[in-house]
Amino acid sequence: MGKRENFNEPAVVSEFDENVIAINRSAKVVKGGKNFSFGALVVVGDRKGRVGYGYGKANEVSDAIRKGGEAARRNLVTVPMNGNTLPHEIEVKFGGARVLLRPASAGTGLIAGGAVRAILDLAGVGDVLAKSLGASNPANVAKATFKAIASLSTREQAFARRGIQIAAKKVEAPAENN
């Protein structure tokens, strides 16, 4: 008997969590029948403000998911946050899909569905109200969500664009009563 590998060793631990949003099966009709191939839409994120998506295609589902994960790691974006929520409301359209993202008060939770929920969850956004309007195509909903994230800006970024200096808050010492 040959030496057996140690199966109790932990797999390579990545700082990113991975989530498969959609798997598409495609068929090519050939002389001998149908050749199937698969496409996987994958989202990766560190739950600390960085998230990315990728689409991988292969003849096996597992290979498509692996390729999609690699593509997602190459396309990471940083989500501007205001505490545990988004800095402002935004509505974005991509193709037939429209996505509405609205900041929510602390404790509201992540109220979103489908691809939007997966993306915001892996980004680490805790309190947000989101609605997917229009087409429900997962690829276009994901692209609309990323377009919305790219369009978000923090208060500081908006002031810097407009050339406004943010006044530093003065901390006054309490007046002494003599």
User: Structural domain of residue 116, as residue ranges?
Assistant: 79-154
Checking if the pLDDT of 31 tops 60, the result is yes
pLDDT of residue 7: 58
Residue 173 has pLDDT above 70, yes or no: no
Give the pLDDT confidence of 64-80 residue by residue, as tens digits.
999 999 999 999 999 99
Cβ atoms of 48 and 78 closer than 8 Å:
no
pLDDT higher at 164 or 111 = 111
Is the Cβ–Cβ distance between 133 and 100 less than 8 Å?
A: yes
Residue 7 belongs to a domain: no
Residue 94, strand partner residues = 97
Do 33 and 56 belong together in one domain?
Answer: yes
Mean residue pLDDT across the chain: 88
Predicted confidence at residue 167, as pLDDT, reads: 72
Would 113 be classed as within a structural domain?
Answer: yes
- The count of domains in the chain is 2
Name the band, by pLDDT with cuts 50, 70 and 90, for residue 102. very high
Asked whether residue 46 is domain-assigned, the answer is: yes
pLDDT for position 141: 95
pLDDT digits (tens, 9 = 90+) for 113-156: 889 999 999 999 989 999 999 999 999 999 999 999 999 888 88
Which of 76, 80, 90, 86 lies closest to 133, judged by CA?
Answer: 90
Q: In terms of domains, do 95 and 66 share one? A: no
Query: Is the residue at 175 inside a domain?
Result: no
Q: The domain that contains 22 carries what CATH number? A: 3.30.160.20
| Residue 16 to residue 44: CA distance in whole angstroms | 6
91 with 144, same domain: the answer is yes
Length of the chain, in residues: 178
